[in-house]
Amino acid sequence: MFENEVVFTIKNLSAYYGTHKVLENINVEVRKGKITAIMGPSGCGKSTLLRCLNRLNDMIPDFRIEGSILFHGRDIYQIGDVNEYRRKVTMVFQRPNVFPLSVFDNVAYGLKIKGVRDKKILRHKVEEALVKAALWDEVKDKLNKPAVQLSGGQQQRLCIARAIAIEPEVILLDEPTSALDPIATTKIERLLEELAENYTVVIVTHSVGQALRISDYVLFLYEGRLVEYGETSTIAKKPRHEMTRKFLTGKIG
Ligand X SMILES: Nc1ncnc2c1ncn2[C@@H]1O[C@H](COP(=O)(O)OP(=O)(O)O)[C@@H](O)[C@H]1O
Give the interface with ligand X as residue ranges (CB under 6 A): 17, 22, 40, 42-48, 60
177 binds Mg ion (CB under 5 A): no
Which part of the chain contacts Mg ion (CB under 5 A), choosing from 47-55, 108-116, 130-138, 217-225?
Answer: 47-55
109 binds, among ligand X, Mg ion, none (CB under 5 to 8 A by kind): none
Instruction: Report CA-CA distances (Å) from 215 to 47, 150, 160.
Output: 17, 28, 18
96 binds, among ligand X, Mg ion, none (CB under 5 to 8 A by kind): none
Assign residue 183 a region (left: φ > 0; alpha: ψ between -120 and 50; beta: otherwise). Answer: alpha
Q: Residue 243 Cβ, how far from ligand X at the closest point, in Å?
A: 15
47 binds Mg ion (CB under 5 A): yes
User: Minimal CB distance to Mg ion: which residue?
Assistant: 47
60 binds, among ligand X, Mg ion, none (CB under 5 to 8 A by kind): ligand X
Residue 210, classed as helix, strand or coil, is: helix
Q: Residue 60 Cβ, how far from ligand X at the closest point, in Å?
A: 5
44 or 103: CB nearest ligand X? 44
97 or 186: CB nearest ligand X? 97
Rounded Cα distance, 90 and 49, in Å: 14
15 or 130: CB nearest ligand X? 15
Rounded Cα distance, 130 and 209, in Å: 27
C-alpha 115, offset from chain centre: 25
Rounded Cα distance, 35 and 199, in Å: 9
185 binds Mg ion (CB under 5 A): no
Mode of pairing for the β-strands spanning 74-75 and 225-231: unpaired
Q: Residue 214 Cβ, how far from ligand X at the closest point, in Å?
A: 18
22 or 192: CB nearest ligand X? 22
Instruction: Report CA-CA distances (Å) from 176 to 27, 90, 125, 193, 225.
Output: 25, 13, 23, 14, 23
45 binds, among ligand X, Mg ion, none (CB under 5 to 8 A by kind): ligand X
Contact 130, 124 (CB under 8 A): no
Rounded Cα distance, 200 and 216, in Å: 11
205 binds Mg ion (CB under 5 A): no
Binding residues for Mg ion (CB under 5 A): 47
